[in-house]
Amino acid sequence: MNKPLRIALTKGRLEKDTVALFEKLGYDCTSVHEKGRKLILPICDGKIEVILAKAADVITYVEHGVCDMGVVGKDTIMEMQGKFFELVDLGFGRCRFALAGKKGDNFYDGYNVKTIATKYPNVSRAYFEGKGMDVEIVKIEGSVELAPLLELSDAIVDIVETGSTLKENGLEVYEEIAPISARLIVNTVSMKLRQNEIEELIEKIEKEI
């Protein structure tokens, strides 16, 4: 028998949404529901192996070809870049990248170089590069909303879903940067060496979404 098709899922919400999608396709995903602490889980009679990983690691595994496919948010793809095929917009995990800051402030006022706090330094840099604007970028790991409130930064670049966290903290979206959703990515070599299996799976997925 062939090696199972290995697919890396971003732990958490995207994992749940993907498993729900697989179940709609008729794949038995019991092992994922009862995973315990296991990280490699065979589904669909062992024809597919699910790997659970952090978003950035999904890209790393797929890029190196140790996983054939992966499900990961467009936000992580934009931040990490990398070489792989980005085949399907799965439609779930929808949100957007936005530039946000204190409500009522005009971000572009004044001549000082602006400071941006973000978990996504590459996305932020590329965005302002596109505008031909110099900014100072500060990488923050946790609640980015704190940075403008504590006056560490003039604004933040972050993922916004409903905007309620921003609102509760007296912040608002200044500009939308890019829409985000979950993507199905495929290793460039796997796509060629396992074309039939992968195309079959993608066809099924595309019918369902």
CB under 8 A: which stretch of 16-24, 57-65, 103-111, 159-167 binds other proteins?
Answer: 57-65
Choose, by CB under 8 A, the member of 128, 163, 191, 204 that binds other proteins.
191
CB nearer to other proteins: pick between 24 and 192: 192
Q: Which of 168, 174, 142 is nearest to 155 (CA)?
A: 174
Question: What string marks each residue from 84 to 113 as x (binds other proteins by CB under 8 A) or -?
Answer: xxxxxx------------------------
CB under 8 A: which stretch of 29-37, 76-84, 136-144, 166-174 binds other proteins?
Answer: 76-84
Residue 126 interacts with other proteins (CB under 8 A)? no
Choose, by CB under 8 A, the member of 40, 113, 152, 193 that binds other proteins.
193
Residue 152 interacts with other proteins (CB under 8 A)? no
Choose, by CB under 8 A, the member of 34, 37, 45, 83 that binds other proteins.
83
Choose, by CB under 8 A, the member of 189, 203, 208, 209 that binds other proteins.
189
Note the residues at the interface with other proteins (CB under 8 A): 60, 62-66, 81-89, 183, 186-193, 195
